């Protein structure tokens, strides 16, 4: 009883005093569940032309770093949704992976109960369906006010809804009470919605979800980046050190579940999967093509293993570094872009980011373009460092005891001119 009182007090204080959220929010949370899973948000809407082999390729790549399932974001208006869901479930069964549906309520609505129930009836008992605590997981993007009770009653297999709540306080609404928990989309520094605030990322939103869910399942979001440049949305969140900082927060908080945003959302630049040749281009190729993020999977792998084991720090088994940086400094004016620069760029730094993954301490040297080389002494483990961005080639060297153990060039030169604004990042790695 004393322990429960302390846990409740900690959650309440974290909500009332959000600045204290990070240290207080981890109290006792690791004991809430011994079954830890990591999922990745997958955009079905851009894979109209996927074949079974494409699904299997993505799933095997996800499995290799410890991802357990894809959250299949799907729209009601896409005629190929049934076809691609069937292929996804078939592929997952073949490779020993799991999937679950995430209904995108930018397209679904509260009047679609019968259709949603039909999908759950079809897939809830499927061998490849992700099950959690005795029920088939199902999630949403928004859809805060959808009532899951009729879907539960109309599905012969138990289901476990974890809808996206835009505000954690909604956990007390009638609709949210029909669910078994909630998923947060607030994976970047924000005061809510798409508001942009200076970094770094804090756990204030996680703390509020823990408080309002009051013991129900919390699926926490992890994302490495967010930059988008459409007519309908043109901004960048301030998340430069987020690839490691957010996972450090997950190791401290130990939420019930983690969902990575995203596997393949090229339009918002937070993909960690390969840039698929078989996806349909919505215009995002302008900033996502030839901008690989694959090395972030290498960085995520030890964090995922640590999260699942309940460890507070990741284990590094071999020396490696992962770097990421934008193609231009933020002040460069792009000559052929009528849309204009994205909102939020004034809060960004012009920096080169390097996550060293070291078995023992060493010295990192970064030579960024026309700047003088910068040396940084870094400890063992995973540490993110940054240096000022210089125009030109980027090179990275790690030495230990007078010997070079890692050395290589960045895959993209930083330029001082551009045609279109691109606040996505080039991600690469250097290993032994």
* Domain annotation covers residue 308: no
Its pTM surpasses 0.85: yes
CATH of the domain at 369: 2.60.40
Q: Which long-range contacts (CB under 8 A, 24 or more apart) does 18-23 make?
A: 18/202, 18/204, 18/207, 18/208, 21/202, 21/203, 21/204, 21/206, 21/207, 22/202, 22/203, 22/249, 22/252
Do residues 86 and 219 both lie within one domain? Answer: yes
Bridge partners for 357 per DSSP: 320, 382
* Domain annotation covers residue 108: yes
* Domain annotation covers residue 310: no
Do residues 220 and 352 both lie within one domain? Answer: no
Write down the pLDDT at residue 3: 36
Write down the pLDDT at residue 34: 65
Do residues 260 and 184 both lie within one domain? Answer: yes
CA–CA separation, 249 vs 312, rounded Å?
9
* Domain annotation covers residue 302: no
- Tell me the mean pLDDT per 10 residues along the chain, length 432: 38 38 35 77 98 98 98 98 98 98 98 98 98 98 97 98 98 97 98 96 98 98 98 97 98 98 98 96 97 98 98 98 98 97 98 98 98 98 98 98 98 98 98 94
The C-alpha angle with vertex 45 and arms to 228 and 89, in degrees rounded to 5, equals 130
CATH of the domain at 124: 3.20.20.80
Please check whether residue 391 is in contact with residue 377, taking contact to mean a CB–CB distance below 8 angstroms. Answer: no
Total domains, the chain: 2
- Domain end among 258, 282, 306: 282
Write down the pLDDT at residue 236: 98
Write down the pLDDT at residue 29: 39
* Domain annotation covers residue 305: no
Write down the pLDDT at residue 10: 40
Residue 225: give the domain boundaries.
2-282
Give the pairing type, strands 234-236 and 257-260: unpaired
At 47, phi and psi to the nearest 5? -120, 40
């Amino acid at each position: 009883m004393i322990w429960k009182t302390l846990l409740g007090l900690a959650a309440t204080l974290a909500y009332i005093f959000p600045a204290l959220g990070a240290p207080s929010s981890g109290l006792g949370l690791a004991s809430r569940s011994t079954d830890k899973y990591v999922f990745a948000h997958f955009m079905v809407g851009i894979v109209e032309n996927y074949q079974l082999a494409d699904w299997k390729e993505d799933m095997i790549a996800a499995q290799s770093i410890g991802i357990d399932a894809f959250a299949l974001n799907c729209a009601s208006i896409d005629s190929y949704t049934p076809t691609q869901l069937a292929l996804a479930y078939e592929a997952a069964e073949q490779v020993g992976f799991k999937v679950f549906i995430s209904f995108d309520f930018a397209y679904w609505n509260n009047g679609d109960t019968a259709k949603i129930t039909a999908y759950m009836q079809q897939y809830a008992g499927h061998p490849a369906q992700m099950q959690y605590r005795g029920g088939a997981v199902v999630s949403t993007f928004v859809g805060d006010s959808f009532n899951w009770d009729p879907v539960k009653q109309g599905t012969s297999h138990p289901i476990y809804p974890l809808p996206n709540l835009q505000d954690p306080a909604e956990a007390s609404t009638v609709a949210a009470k029909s669910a078994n928990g909630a998923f947060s989309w607030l994976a970047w520094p924000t005061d809510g919605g798409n508001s942009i605030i200076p970094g770094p990322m804090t756990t204030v939103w996680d703390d509020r979800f823990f408080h309002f869910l009051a013991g129900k399942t919390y699926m926490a979001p992890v994302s490495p980046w967010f930059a988008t440049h459409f007519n309908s949305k043109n901004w960048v969140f301030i998340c430069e050190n987020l690839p490691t900082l957010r996972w450090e927060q997950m190791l401290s908080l130990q939420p019930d579940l983690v969902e990575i945003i995203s596997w393949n959302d090229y339009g918002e630049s937070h993909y960690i999967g390969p840039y698929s040749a078989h996806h349909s281009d919505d215009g995002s190729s302008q900033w996502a093509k030839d901008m690989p993020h694959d090395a972030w999977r290498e960085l995520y792998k030890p964090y995922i293993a640590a999260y699942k084991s309940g460890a507070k720090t990741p284990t590094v088994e071999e020396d490696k570094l992962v770097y990421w940086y934008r193609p231009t400094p933020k002040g460069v004016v792009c000559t052929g872009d009528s849309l204009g620069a994205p909102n939020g760029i004034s809060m960004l730094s012009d920096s080169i980011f390097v996550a060293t993954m070291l078995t023992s301490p060493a010295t990192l040297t970064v030579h960024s373009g026309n700047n003088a080389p910068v040396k940084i002494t870094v400890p063992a483990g995973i540490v993110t460092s940054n240096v000022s961005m210089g125009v030109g080639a980027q090179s990275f060297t790690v030495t230990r005891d007078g010997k070079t153990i890692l050395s290589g060039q960045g895959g993209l030169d930083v330029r001082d001119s551009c045609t279109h604004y691109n606040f996505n990042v080039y991600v690469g790695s250097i290993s032994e």
